[in-house]
């Protein structure tokens, strides 16, 4: 690798580094607002959204660790460590999916209506463009530096964006219709994204070979 190529790679890694810090900053806000709103409104959908944000926060933290090692020492984060971190993230997502299914089943059984949450709706609306920007830049940089870990993190960001859309649709329907069944139905719509993201994280290297 030439000096110019090395410098270009360092610049790209630095860009990815700051993208992950932006991800962490937003995920802290998103998680706090979504979980607090979910608890206040007894909303499974918002709680799942907030807990997924916590998992995204952990993923971004792992990426910062990996990128910092490369910036300081010029060597990549251990493949074994990356795979272990991915499997932990995948297990957490599967656990969250199980929680959502059980909670939705309980809601269907009790038929208890959840309250509408304006704060939850606003944070989900703001999350959509933010997730789009972060995911787009992460994917571009991941392909340029050949990072499986960054690519996997970008896919999680994409999933978070789609989760935001699901939350917005569910809360809007709840506001207009007000049916008790809307929240559990919306939460089950999130399960597909959680399982998909969990499988990709658990697969680790295999799901990210398209980076190369």
Dihedral sign for Cα atoms in the order 41, 27, 184, 89: negative
Residue 113 · residue 178 · CB < 8 Å:
yes
Q: What is the pLDDT of residue 5?
A: 59
Domain membership of residue 79 (yes or no) is yes
pTM of the model: 0.78
CATH number for position 50: 1.20.1510
When mean pLDDT is compared over 70-79, 80-89, 156-165, 178-187, the highest value belongs to: 156-165
Count of structural domains within the chain: 1
Q: Would you state the torsion angle of the CA atoms of residues 118, 20, 22, 197, taken in this order, to the nearest 10 degrees?
A: -10
Q: Which residues contact 85 (CB under 8 A, 6 or more apart)?
A: 59, 62, 149
Which of 94, 77, 65 has the alpha carbon at shortest distance from 148?
Answer: 77
Q: Would you state the pLDDT for residue 211?
A: 42
Across 2-11, 159-168, 177-186, 198-207, which has the greatest mean pLDDT? 159-168
Higher pLDDT, residue 178 or 32: 32
Judge whether 176 lies within some domain: yes
What would the pLDDT profile of 137-156 be if each residue is shown by its tens digit?
Answer: 999 998 888 777 788 788 77
Q: Is residue 152 part of a domain?
A: yes
In the 8-state DSSP scheme, what is residue 74? S
Q: Is residue 108 part of a domain?
A: yes
pLDDT tens-place string over residues 115-125 = 789 999 999 99
Q: Provide mean pLDDT across the span 194-204.
A: 79
Kindly state whether residue 143 falls inside one of the protein's structural domains. Answer: yes
Domain membership flag for residue 171: yes
pLDDT of residue 154: 85
Domain of residue 138 covers 3-205
pLDDT at 128: 95
Where does the pLDDT of residue 166 fall: very low under 50, low under 70, confident under 90, or very high at 90 and above? Answer: confident
Is 212 within the bounds of a domain?
no
Residue 181 lies in a domain: yes
The confidence score (pLDDT) of residue 39 equals 93
């Amino acid at each position: 690798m030439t000096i110019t190529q090395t410098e270009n790679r360092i610049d790209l890694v630095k860009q990815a580094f700051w993208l992950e810090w932006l991800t962490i900053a937003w995920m802290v806000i998103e998680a706090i607002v979504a979980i607090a709103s979910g608890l206040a409104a007894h909303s499974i959908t918002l709680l799942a959204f907030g807990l997924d944000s916590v998992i995204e926060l952990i993923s971004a933290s792992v990426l910062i660790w990996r990128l910092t090692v490369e910036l300081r020492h010029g060597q990549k984060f251990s493949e074994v460590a990356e795979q272990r971190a991915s499997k932990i993230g995948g297990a957490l997502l599967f656990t969250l999916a199980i929680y959502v299914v059980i909670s939705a089943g309980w809601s269907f059984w009790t038929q208890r209506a959840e309250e509408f949450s304006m704060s939850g709706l606003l944070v989900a609306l703001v999350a959509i463009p933010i997730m789009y920007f972060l995911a787009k830049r992460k994917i571009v940089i991941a392909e340029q530096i050949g990072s499986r870990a960054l690519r996997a993190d970008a896919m999680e960001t994409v999933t978070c964006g789609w989760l935001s859309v699901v939350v917005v649709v569910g809360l809007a329907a709840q506001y207009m219709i007000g049916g008790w069944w809307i929240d559990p139905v919306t939460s089950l719509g999130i399960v597909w994204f959680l399982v998909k993201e969990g499988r990709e994280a658990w697969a680790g290297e295999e799901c990210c070979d398209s980076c190369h």
